């Protein structure tokens, strides 16, 4: 009990810092989960369309990407669970990992926990408060997901199945919070703890995919090892099995106990694995601010490069199956902006996937750019500027890295689609078509990079606005097509202002205008950054 002294006050301090952050995450996940529920009957269609979709979703490629196919009949609830449960858990896992790492290892790096430790606060108060808060957040998230999905009163999506859906998300999220808590004790830096936690998340996804594809065989055991695979075994809206929930909860509890044990056995600021010592002298490739920026951002670059290629390969592998469902589903043809008489049914699919993946490319591009903000907030930028280094010159290095990364990511996505499609289709899509489609959205990505540079130049506190605007773009471009919003509304987004190649002709004017807008935003960002005070 002495180690938990003043835990309530510590929890209150954490909530005061991140209450808004948690609310935005919870609301965002609930909206992501429930927003498409009203459209399920239209998407699923009649008996013939259900049969076609069921045949598509049974394919190994779709099972590996989305999730396990289960149930005696392909109902609205089963279809939605197979398509959404794994992805919602992945988003919830990101929230859990980021929150736990921030209030454990990162606070320890920043000296905040050491400052709290100088007060009458128990050694385990910080970790226990973090675990307690994230537990409550997951409980609230589970209940809100269940209530919001059932509130639409869609056929075959009842209150019981919706509650089990929410509980599967919440309990699986707690497991990844436990993983992050253990990694925060083992690793010696926040970056290392975050990397290992996300690596575990990726491994859990791969084990789940392998186990789901091998369902009914002895290799299905791989899915039972993964929290994602166990969450799927709840079989929401079908059997509503209870047994996976206490198993997942037990996994989370064991991980939290292990984190507490490890925390009590290590010194403040240290991990069980010491960082590798670097060179005594920097190489020729690590001299100058731009080289430093490249070194700081290369883990993000390589991780997302692999992810973009994997996403492209995953989508390309289902092109052959997806075409048959496209031919019989009216709402899907409306979504991708084409009719059943289209000459090439893959063209609208390529167009829609490319704009979605282009919006995803904005995420790592901004993460690379915002590294300069992180360095400033942590007061490491001052050491760079103590030398003969210009502020705009330093910021420009991060901008150029983000622009270069966006080009590489778009290429890898297109290449992944082409490689996978070549294996599953007798007449695969043209590589040139994929490259042109991916390249056509680069100006829209650069607008967000320019906006990020402008906000960082004005104040680091304004940078998160980019994520809000990116979410608004997704709603306008993607959800707007389902809701049939007017074209002028969707053009408010940079992605909506560009034509969907190859179903529409390229617009050189739109691409040039967006590129110029991005350039102007960058120039103003460099100007503001040169003249403002650094955050201390």
Per the structure block, which two tokens stand in for 167?
Answer: 């509980």
Say what the pTM is. 0.75
3-state SS, residue 242: coil
pLDDT in the model for residue 536: 45
Buried b (16+ CB within 10 A) or exposed e, 111-120: eebeebeeee
Say if residue 187 is preceded by a cis peptide, omega within 30 of 0: no
Buried b (16+ CB within 10 A) or exposed e, 501-529: bbbeeeeeebbeebbebbeebbeebbebb
Determine contact, residues 390/527, Cβ cutoff 8 Å: no
Angle at which helix 7-34 crosses helix 125-151, to 10 degrees, equals 30
Distance CA 478, CA 393 (A): 37
3-state SS, residue 533: coil
Distance CA 245, CA 169 (A): 10
pLDDT in the model for residue 482: 53
Determine contact, residues 126/266, Cβ cutoff 8 Å: no
Indicate left, alpha or beta for 126 from its phi (over 0: left) and psi (-120 to 50: alpha): alpha
pLDDT tens sequence for the chain (536 residues): 566 667 778 888 788 888 888 898 899 899 888 887 887 777 666 677 677 677 767 777 678 777 888 877 778 888 888 888 988 998 899 899 989 998 888 878 777 766 766 667 666 777 888 899 999 999 999 999 999 998 888 888 889 999 999 999 999 999 999 999 999 888 877 778 888 888 888 888 888 888 888 888 888 888 899 999 999 999 898 889 999 999 999 999 999 999 988 887 776 666 666 666 666 666 666 677 888 888 888 878 888 888 888 888 877 776 765 555 555 555 455 555 544 444 456 777 788 788 888 988 998 999 899 888 888 877 777 788 878 888 888 889 999 999 999 999 999 999 988 888 887 777 777 889 899 999 999 999 999 999 999 999 888 888 888 888 888 887 777 666 555 556 666 677 888 888 888 888 888 898 999 999 999 999 999 999 888 887 64
Residue 247: C-alpha distances to residues 163, 174, 225, 257 (Å): 17, 12, 11, 15
Determine contact, residues 375/529, Cβ cutoff 8 Å: no
Determine contact, residues 498/514, Cβ cutoff 8 Å: yes
Each residue's pLDDT tens digit, 496-513: 888 888 888 888 898 999
Distance CA 467, CA 370 (A): 12
Residue 408: C-alpha distances to residues 213, 305, 402, 404, 442 (Å): 31, 8, 10, 6, 11
Distance CA 402, CA 243 (A): 46
pLDDT in the model for residue 268: 66
Nearest to 135 by CA among 100, 161, 184, 186: 100
DSSP H/E element including 26: helix 7-34
3-state SS, residue 94: helix
Nearest to 301 by CA among 401, 370, 447, 417: 401
Helices (H), 219-318: 221-225, 227-232, 244-265, 289-316
Per the structure block, which two tokens stand in for 453?
Answer: 């540079």
């Amino acid at each position: 009990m002495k180690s938990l002294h003043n835990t309530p006050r510590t929890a209150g301090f954490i909530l005061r810092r991140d209450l808004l952050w948690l609310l935005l995450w919870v609301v965002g996940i609930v909206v992501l989960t429930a927003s498409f529920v009203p459209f399920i009957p239209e998407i699923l269609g009649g008996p013939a369309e259900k049969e076609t979709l069921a045949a598509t979703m049974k394919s190994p490629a779709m099972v590996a990407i989305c999730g396990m196919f289960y149930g005696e009949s392909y109902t609205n609830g089963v279809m939605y669970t197979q398509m959404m449960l794994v992805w919602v858990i992945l988003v919830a896992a990101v929230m859990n990992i980021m929150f736990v790492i921030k209030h454990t290892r990162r606070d320890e790096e920043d000296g905040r926990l050491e400052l709290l430790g100088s007060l009458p606060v128990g050694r385990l108060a910080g970790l226990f408060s973090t675990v307690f808060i994230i537990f409550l957040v997951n409980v609230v998230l589970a209940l809100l997901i269940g209530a919001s999905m059932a509130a639409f009163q869609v056929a075959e999506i009842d209150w019981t199945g919706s509650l089990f859906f929410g509980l599967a998300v919440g309990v699986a999220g707690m497991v990844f919070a436990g993983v992050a808590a253990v990694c925060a004790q083992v690793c010696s830096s926040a970056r290392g703890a975050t990397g290992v936690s996300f690596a575990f998340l990726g491994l859990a996804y791969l084990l789940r995919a392998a186990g789901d594809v091998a369902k009914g065989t002895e290799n299905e055991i791989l899915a039972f090892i993964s929290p994602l695979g166990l969450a799927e075994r709840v079989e929401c809206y079908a059997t509503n099995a209870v047994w996976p929930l206490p198993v997942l909860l037990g996994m989370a509890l064991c991980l939290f106990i292990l984190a507490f044990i490890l925390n009590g056995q290590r010194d403040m600021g240290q991990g069980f694995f010491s960082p590798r010592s670097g060179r005594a002298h920097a190489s020729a490739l690590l001299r100058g601010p731009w080289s430093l920026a490249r070194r700081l951002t290369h883990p993000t670059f390589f991780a997302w490069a692999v992810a973009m290629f994997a996403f492209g390969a995953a989508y390309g592998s289902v092109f052959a199956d997806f075409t048959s469902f496209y031919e019989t589903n009216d709402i899907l043809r409306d979504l991708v902006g084409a009719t059943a008489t289209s000459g090439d049914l893959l063209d609208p699919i390529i167009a829609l996937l490319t704009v979605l993946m282009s919006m995803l490319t904005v995420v790592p591009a901004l993460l690379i750019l915002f590294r300069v903000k992180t360095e400033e907030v942590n007061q490491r930028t001052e050491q760079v500027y103590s030398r003969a280094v210009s502020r705009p010159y330093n910021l420009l290095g991060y901008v150029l890295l983000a622009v270069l990364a966006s080009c590489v990511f778009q290429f890898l996505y297109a290449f992944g689609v082409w490689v996978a499609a070549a294996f599953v289709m007798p007449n695969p899509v043209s590589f040139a078509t994929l490259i042109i489609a991916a390249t056509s959205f680069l100006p829209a990505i650069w607008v967000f990079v320019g906006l990020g540079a402008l906000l960082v130049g004005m104040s680091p506190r304004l940078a998160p606005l980019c994520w809000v605007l990116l979410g608004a773009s997704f709603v306008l471009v993607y959800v707007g097509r389902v809701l049939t919003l007017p074209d002028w509304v969707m053009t408010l987004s940079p992605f909506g202002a560009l034509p969907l190649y190859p179903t529409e002709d390229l617009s050189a004017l739109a691409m040039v205008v967006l590129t110029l807008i991005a350039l102007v935003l960058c120039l103003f960002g460099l100007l503001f950054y040169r003249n403002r005070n650094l955050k201390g």
